[in-house]
Structure 1
Amino acid sequence: MTIDYPDFLPALTNQSVAEFEQESRLALAMKMYELGRWSSGQAARVAGIPRARFLLECPRFKVSTVSWDDEEIEAEFAD
Structure 2
Amino acid sequence: MNGTIELTLPKSVEVSDFELKMIIATKLYELGRLSSGQAAEVAGLSKRAFLELLGKYNVSVFGYDEKELEEDLKNL
1:24 to 20, 28, 37: 20
Counterpart for residue 6 of structure 2 = 3
After TM superposition, the runs of 4+ consecutive aligned structure 1 residues lying more than 2 A away are: 67-70
Q: Output aligned runs, 1:29-48, within 5 Å.
A: 29-48=25-44
Identical pairs, percent: 32
**TM-score calculated relative to the size of structure 2:** 0.73
Question: RMSD between aligned alpha carbons?
Answer: 2.4
The residue matched to 1:66 in structure 2 has which SS?
coil
Aligned to 1:64, which of 45, 51, 60? 60
For 1:35, the aligned partner's letter is L
Q: Which runs of 5+ in 1 are unaligned?
A: none
Once the two structures are TM-superposed, the CA of residue 7 in structure 1 deviates from its matched residue by 5.5
State the alpha-carbon separation in 1 of the partners of residues 28 and 45 from structure 2.
Answer: 15
Say if 2:30 and 2:63, in contact at 8 Å, map to a contact too. no
Counterparts of 1:63 and 1:57, CA distance in 2: 9
Amino acid across the alignment from 1:41:
G
Max Rg structure: 1
Aligned length: 67
CA distance in 2, matches of 1:6, 1:30: 20
Q: Give the number of the structure whose residues are more often helix, by fraction.
A: 1
